[in-house]
Amino acid sequence: MTTPRRLLLVNGPNLNLLGVREPEVYGTATLADVERIATDAARARGFEVRAVQSNHEGALLDAIHAAREDCAGIVINPAGLTHTSVVLRDALSGVALPVAEVHVSDISKREPFRQHSYVADVALVHVMGEGVQGYATAVERLIDVIAGQADG
């Protein structure tokens, strides 16, 4: 069986407000811009992207579970669930796909409660603080992992 040439792009709660919510922290780019950036980066490497954003944890879990059927990896910005969701971490671990964790801001330099990521130990790629362009970096590095050109 050949590896699918598709990535699941997951954006968690409140990322639908990119460009509006706290632009001094997250910038003025929108979720549509993020999806275009990730899609363009993937397309340049021969991959496609299926994007999902939800403010509901269960919808994100369902999308992650479904990815094991037709995706080669997952790029995720769990947003606030980064710091709170063991079940999201377990879903990512359970599907056994390579994961890239991306954050628009650098969570290591944010408030103390934002500095812990439940996703960090299951992600092979970590990109923080590059703004929305970090999505392109995450896609490119994850594809390198999938292609066997990097360890993560």
- Annotated binding-site members for substrate: 77, 83, 90, 104-105, 114
Query: Any idea what the Cα angle at residue 67 is, between residues 49 and 122, rounded to 5°?
Result: 100
Q: Is 126 in the active site? A: no
Which regions of the chain does DSSP assign to beta strands (E)? 6-11, 48-53, 73-77, 99-103, 125-128
Out of 56, 65, 103, 116, which one is annotated catalytic?
103
Query: Any idea what the Cα angle at residue 98 is, between residues 33 and 63, rounded to 5°?
Result: 60
Two structure tokens written together for 51:
């994007």
Q: Is 118 in the active site? A: no
Known binding-site residue numbers: 77, 83, 90, 104-105, 114
The pairing of beta strand 99-103 with beta strand 73-77: parallel
Q: Active-site residue numbers?
A: 26, 103
